[in-house]
């Protein structure tokens, strides 16, 4: 019979590091953000003031069968502050979920534990759902099985390149527009006349294979390019070079190196860097984090070149998915193979006023979906025009 153990500190959780690593390798559609390495770095930098709730589902002997990492966010909304229990991602990536080979059983046990324990949250809202090789029905069934309502909404959307579905670069490239294909060839030739155009991808295999050089020289190049890009002037300050997050991203870089999860892409002209794409990858699932380019070469389309060279190299390496990330979807439309909606399921306790005011507001604004509509969107059977009118509009609680 399964039982659930709750861990509330990183120090106590450290004893589950090897079990976590084993379960990650067995998780369908897993990405880097579900690793212990990500949680460790993230929590040390951004965990202050909030509560960590990691639910470990064990068998009768104490062997971990699955893990559901959760945290409580204190969020400001138009209706006042709310305590939201959800996954520890905070929009750094687009997908999250349970860890282990049986997500349905893991979620069922973990959510039942959430229902049994004292409620220290106002809204239970698993976010960042609907990733490839996962099933939205597992989350809905676990919530309803625990006696909690499940109200789905579209949280955001992300641009994907389905590498496994297409199979090879030639098929993918043939499916791009004629102008994109011509520009790809023309820009390479044009820049090649000015020097040696070189694509570099650094993807060490990690401590298990003795490849742990962080290559700070390459990372620093990405930082400098980020500091020169248009994003550096934006008020939200989330580029690699932004002082508010720079220490955190450098810390994650070290953790990702150990895991063999760094995917650093650079485009060079002789010894001058033109563009970068800094990603994470795990078992062939590439998660885009940040991109940037030298503004002096903007008219040469160096960002476009780097994306296509990186995608071509991913086909060659046998990657199965390239998640280009949420936001700036217009600039990604020529490269993606499809757009994927990202969901959340929200549970609002009936006896609470403010959470139910939030539910009613979302309902009045038309954001709440029926479970069948959410599944149709996830499976790609919903009307794309309807999706286009919905995504990107979901209110942030």
Instruction: Output the CA torsion sign for 242, 245, 247, 249.
Output: negative
Residue 184 lies in a domain: yes
pLDDT of residue 316: 98
- 179 and 135 share a domain? no
| Strands, sheet with 321-326, edge to edge from the N-terminal-most edge strand | 197-202, 262-269, 272-282, 285-293, 321-326, 151-161, 338-346
Last residue within a domain, chosen from 319, 336, 353: 336
- 148 and 210 share a domain? no
Cβ burial of 213 (10 Å; 0-12, 13-18, 19+) is exposed
- 14 and 140 share a domain? yes
Query: Is the per-residue pLDDT at 294 higher than 80?
Result: yes
Q: Residue 19, SS3?
A: helix
Residue 347 lies in a domain: yes
Residue 378 lies in a domain: yes
226: CATH: 3.40.630.30
- 209 and 292 share a domain? yes
Residue 396 lies in a domain: no
Overall size of the chain counted in residues:
397
Strands 151-161 and 197-202: unpaired
Residue 310 lies in a domain: yes
- 138 and 231 share a domain? no
What is the value of pTM for the model shown? 0.90
Residue 296 lies in a domain: yes
- 296 and 227 share a domain? yes
Last residue within a domain, chosen from 296, 312, 336: 336
Q: Which domain holds residue 63?
A: 3-157+340-390
- 367 and 224 share a domain? no
- 292 and 319 share a domain? yes
CB of 324 closer than 8 Å to CB of 160: yes
Q: How far is CA 244 from CA 46, 221, 263, 314, 360, in A?
A: 11, 19, 23, 31, 36
- 176 and 315 share a domain? yes
Query: Predicted confidence band at 76 (pLDDT cuts at 50, 70, 90)?
Result: confident
Residue 397 lies in a domain: no
CB of 65 closer than 8 Å to CB of 107: no
User: Cα separation of 139 and 143, whole Å?
Assistant: 6
- 72 and 113 share a domain? yes
Query: Is the per-residue pLDDT at 372 higher than 70?
Result: no
- 180 and 328 share a domain? yes
pLDDT of residue 391: 41
Query: Is the per-residue pLDDT at 152 higher than 90?
Result: no
- 8 and 135 share a domain? yes
Query: Predicted confidence band at 379 (pLDDT cuts at 50, 70, 90)?
Result: low
Residue bearing tokens 């439309």: 333
Last residue within a domain, chosen from 304, 320, 336: 336
Domain count, the chain: 2
Among 77, 69, 68, smallest CA distance to 107 is for 68
Residue 197 lies in a domain: yes
Over range 173-180, report the average pLDDT.
96
The winner for highest mean pLDDT among 76-85, 188-197, 379-388 is 188-197
Query: Predicted confidence band at 232 (pLDDT cuts at 50, 70, 90)?
Result: low
Among 221, 360, 207, smallest CA distance to 294 is for 221
């Amino acid at each position: 019979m399964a039982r659930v153990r709750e861990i509330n500190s990183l120090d106590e959780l450290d004893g589950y590091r090897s079990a976590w690593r084993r379960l990650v390798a067995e998780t369908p559609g897993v990405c880097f953000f579900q690793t212990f390495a990500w949680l460790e770095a993230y929590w040390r930098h951004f965990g202050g003031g909030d509560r960590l709730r990691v639910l470990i589902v064990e068998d009768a002997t104490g062997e971990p069968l699955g893990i559901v990492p959760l945290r409580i966010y204190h969020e400001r909304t138009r209706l006042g502050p709310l305590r939201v229990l959800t996954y520890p991602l905070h929009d750094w990536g687009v997908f999250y979920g349970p860890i282990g080979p049986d997500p349905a059983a893991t979620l069922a046990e973990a959510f039942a534990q959430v229902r049994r324990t004292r409620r220290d949250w106002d809204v239970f809202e698993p976010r960042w759902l609907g990733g490839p090789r996962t099933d939205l029905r597992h989350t809905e069934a676990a919530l309803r099985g625990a006696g909690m309502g499940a109200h789905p909404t579209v949280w955001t959307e992300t641009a994907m390149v389905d590498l496994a579905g297409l199979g090879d670069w030639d098929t993918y490239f043939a499916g791009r527009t004629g102008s994109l294909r011509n520009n790809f060839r023309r820009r390479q030739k044009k820049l090649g006349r000015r020097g040696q155009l070189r694509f570099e991808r650094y993807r060490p295999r990690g401590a298990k294979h003795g490849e742990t050089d962080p290559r700070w020289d390459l990372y620093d190049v990405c930082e400098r390019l980020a500091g020169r890009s248009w994003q550096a002037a934006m008020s939200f300050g989330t580029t690699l070079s932004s002082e508010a997050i720079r220490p955190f991203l450098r810390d994650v870089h070290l953790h990702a190196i150990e895991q063999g999860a760094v995917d650093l892409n650079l485009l060079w002209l002789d010894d001058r860097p033109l563009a970068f794409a800094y990603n994470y990858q795990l078992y062939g699932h590439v998660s885009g984090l940040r991109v940037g380019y030298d503004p002096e070469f903007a008219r040469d389309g160096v960002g476009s070149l780097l994306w296509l060279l990186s995608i071509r190299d991913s086909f060659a390496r046998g990657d199965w998915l390239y998640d280009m990330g949420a936001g700036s979807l217009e600039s990604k439309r020529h490269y993606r193979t499809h757009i994927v909606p990202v969901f959340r399921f929200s549970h609002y306790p009936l006896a609470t006023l403010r959470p139910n005011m939030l539910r009613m507001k979302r309902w009045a604004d038309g954001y709440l979906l029926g479970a069948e509509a959410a599944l149709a969107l996830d499976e790609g059977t919903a009307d794309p025009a309807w999706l286009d009118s919905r995504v990107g509009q979901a209110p942030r609680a």
